[in-house]
A and B are shown apart, each in its own frame.
Chain A
């Protein structure tokens, strides 16, 4: 059974204070690891897909990295508008094509 654990559950940062969110996973063959951003009262917004260990992707202040056991979402010099819940999900090569989601990390960036 695929499992995803995100840490920390909540994170408070000052504007400009860089940090990282963690997504640890176990999966029988990785078909993809996905990062989403969700604002209150809205559906998740797709950010990145990572397929293999060593892969990195960037978008503005966000950078996602992947190893065989975990993924990090690095936030560089965050701004208050980066405040949101960040969700991680994995899809394995096992019979099910349904992705497994973590519980998310709630990020608050104070001005």
Chain B
């Protein structure tokens, strides 16, 4: 149980294009999902909190017009990197916490490696 998937697992795109990353909770519902970015050999950097049915909450320094987040249902959140540039190349990871029960754990997806040429 508590499986989170991400698609695609890796993507290579040209500078200026947009890339959409999907995050799905496969066997539980999640009112809230989180999007992280991770640089090599560094810890997780929270980018935004995605709330089902409402606007995402972005961390300081994260451009909300560049990183569009949509939480369309209790099992799906998407991150769109708009007009991607080489500096956006990174490892993007989503996580989700089950809506029901008292558990507070986050369960992470396998991550998406984005390379912008």
Contacts and interface: CB of A to CB of B under 8 A. Distances in A.
Interface of A: 31-32, 34, 36, 41-46, 49, 87, 89, 91, 97-99, 101-104, 106
Contacts of B44: 44, 87, 101
Contacts of A32: 104-105
Nearest to B42: A103
Interface of B: 2, 4, 6, 32, 34, 41-44, 46, 49, 91, 93, 95, 103-111, 113
Contacts, number: 51
A46 B111 contact: no
Nearest to A97: B32
A104 B95 CA distance: 17
Given A41-B113, A49-B103, A101 B108 contact: no
B111 A104 contact: no
A45 B111 CA distance: 11
B103 A44 contact: no
